[in-house]
Structure 1
Amino acid sequence: MNKFWMTVIGVIAGIIALSNLGPIIGLAFSGVIIYIGVHYYLRSTSTAAKILWAIVGTVGALSAVSNVPAIIGVLAIAVLWYIYKNWNEETIAAPVKNDPFTNFEKQWDKLTK
């Protein structure tokens, strides 16, 4: 892929990522709420505490479901990362076979000189 198309795709992915920044932050916040709810649910011993932390986890899960557009933003960020990593990538030549007989012959020639 040449740099022109990488630039075009990068600009489009950047616009999508910026436009979905709010839902991405909301999804991250929902994930923290779910984590807290599950963490304290597993540590609690009383039934009332388990019910309370289950409700907190459920609220976090419902909040995460409402932030589903953030998945598109996360995919756009992944595309930007891919473009960043492959910006200066050069073509790789065919790998050189590591033939033990060829290496032996090269070393034998060095020894006999």
Structure 2
Amino acid sequence: MKKFLIFLLAIAALFILLANIGPLILLGVCVYLLYVIFKKFVKSDSMAGKVIWVLLGLFVLSVALSNIYAVIGLAALYFLYVLFRNNGKEEEIIFNKPSESDPFTNFERQWADMNK
């Protein structure tokens, strides 16, 4: 039942990711453009150039903020990443496995070596 529930959550996360793929792409482009605009703003020497870069940056920032709900798609992508990264890594619990620090195991091994 647990695996079925995880499967249903994975399907829901996949649909959420697919529904938000467009805003995710637009948000990524806007973040890249904001980075480029900031670099151009820092390199600009004239006051008019700085004003133009600030105005352009504010416009791109408003476009980026209108797609902020794409963060839900990022959360779905992260959930799928964690889910598939841990897939198949369930450790089997072995109750009768002796540990190396167990004194009785060492004694048994030494006794077997002496009896050879």
**Range class of TM-score, shorter chain:** 0.7 to 0.9
Normalising to structure 2: TM-score of the pair?
0.76
- SS of the counterpart of 1:69? helix
Q: Distance in 1 between matches of 2:92 and 2:31?
A: 41
Q: Distance in 1 between matches of 2:33 and 2:92?
A: 46
Counterpart residue number, 1:10? 10
Unpaired runs of 5+ residues, structure 2, are: 94-98
Counterpart residue number, 1:35? 35
Residues 36 and 57, structure 1, Cα contact 8 Å, conserved in 2: no
Among the aligned pairs, what percent are the same residue?
28
Name which one, 1 or 2, has greater alpha-carbon Rg: 2
Counterpart residue number, 1:74? 74
> Number of residues paired by the alignment?
106
CA displacement, residues 47-99 of structure 1 (integer Å, 9 cap, x when unaligned): 11111111121111101110011010110001110111111121376xxx997
Residues 3 and 87, structure 1, Cα contact 8 Å, conserved in 2: no
Unpaired runs of 5+ residues, structure 1, are: none
Residues 34 and 61, structure 1, Cα contact 8 Å, conserved in 2: yes
Normalising to structure 1: TM-score of the pair?
0.77
The alpha-carbon deviation at position 3 of structure 1 amounts to 2.6
Q: Distance in 2 between matches of 1:98 and 1:27?
A: 53
Q: Distance in 2 between matches of 1:98 and 1:34?
A: 57
